Amino acid sequence: MNAAKRLEIFRRLHEDNPEPKTELAYSSPFELLIAVILSAQSTDVGVNKATARLFPVANTPAAIHALGVEGLSEYIKTIGLYNSKAKNVIETCRLLVERHGSEIPQTREELEALPGVGRKTANVVLNTAFRQLTMAVDTHIFRVSNRTGIAPGKNVVEVEKKLMKFVPKDYLLDSHHWLILHGRYVCLARKPRCGSCRIEDLCEYKDKTSDD
| Residues known to be catalytic | 120, 138
Rounded distance between C-alpha atoms, residue 50 and residue 37, angstroms = 13
- Which residues are within 8 A (CB) of 54 and not within 5 positions of it... i.e. 6 or more apart? 34, 64, 72, 75, 76
Judged on CB neighbours under 10 Å (0-12, 13-18, 19+), 192 is buried
Q: How far is CA 48 from CA 42, 51, 54, 100, 135, in A?
A: 10, 5, 10, 26, 22
- The answer to whether the CB of 135 falls within 8 A of the CB of 123 is yes
- Which residues are within 8 A (CB) of 103 and not within 5 positions of it... i.e. 6 or more apart? 96
CB atoms within 10 A of CB 84: 12
End-to-end CA distance of the chain: 25
